[in-house]
Chain A
Amino acid sequence: GNSVTQMEGPVTLSEEAFLTINCTYTATGYPSLFWYVQYPGEGLQLLLKATKADDKGSNKGFEATYRKETTSFHLEKGSVQVSDSAVYFCALSDRTYSSASKIIFGSGTRLSIRP
């Protein structure tokens, strides 16, 4: 079945460091890919998405490119801030589900940024 694998955390970086969180997926067909972020004490928020191969999703300085050849959707940011400390979830849509989206989430990567 479809699945998502993301790097285990926690990841700890200094402010202004470069961030990469790896995500790979297994899927039949052509799923949409997502990154969601969960700040402490809150629910999940959509950070960015890409719906087809070679699409780049971007938001708040974060980017991820849909790579079909490597089945990857790695999250990157050039210069992280303390306010980026959160848990990040990679996810894909399961398009076998006809009329309501079923999203499969990775296990989450906790990111902590030191001032």
Chain B
Amino acid sequence: ETGVTQTPRHLVMGMTNKKSLKCEQHLGHNAMYWYKQSAKKPLELMFVYNFKEQTENNSVPSRFSPECPNSSHLFLHLHTLQPEDSALYLCASSQAAGDADTQYFGPGTRLTVL
């Protein structure tokens, strides 16, 4: 699905590093999401933004800090992560109304924390 892009595709970082994941959607949507996908665990919703406002924080540790400057861009700022945070981080977007149910996903960022 080329409508949602994510960079970088792969990231290796130490526990003391600070890095950011970027997501951009080209679909004219107004809602954006961060998910965490770990091996052998269900997909976990982390954050929801609707019209740039955060509407859900699913009990995510503060070492993950999201930012949504506009409806097309979503960032996930990372600092002092733990090895158990290693996972595939997926961004998604949807319309805020109308076909609001269907979410479109980016390819993900594979994060490894050393």
**Assuming the A-B contacts A42-B108, A107-B42, are A49 and B50 also in contact, with contact meaning beta carbons closer than 8 angstroms in the complex?**
no
Chain A positions 16 through 47: 1 when the CB is less than 8 Å from some CB of chain B, otherwise 0: 00000000000000001010100001111110
Measured as residues with beta carbon below 8 angstroms from the partner, the interface class of chain B is 20 to 34
User: Which chain B residue lies CB-closest to A95?
Assistant: B101
CB under 8 Å from chain B, chain A span 65-107: 89, 93, 99-103, 105-107
| B49: A residues at CB distance < 8 A | 100
Interface stretch among B13-21, B59-67, B78-86, B92-100? B92-100
| A32: B residues at CB distance < 8 A | 101
Chain B residues engaging chain A, CB cutoff 8 angstroms: 1, 4, 6, 31, 33, 41-43, 45, 48-50, 55-56, 90, 92, 94, 96-97, 100-108
Chain A residues engaging chain B, CB cutoff 8 angstroms: 32, 34, 36, 41-46, 49, 51, 89, 93, 99-103, 105-108
Given contacts A43-B1, A43-B106, A49-B101, 6 further A-B contacts (CB under 8 A): A43-B105, A43-B107, A49-B102, A51-B101, A99-B97, A100-B49
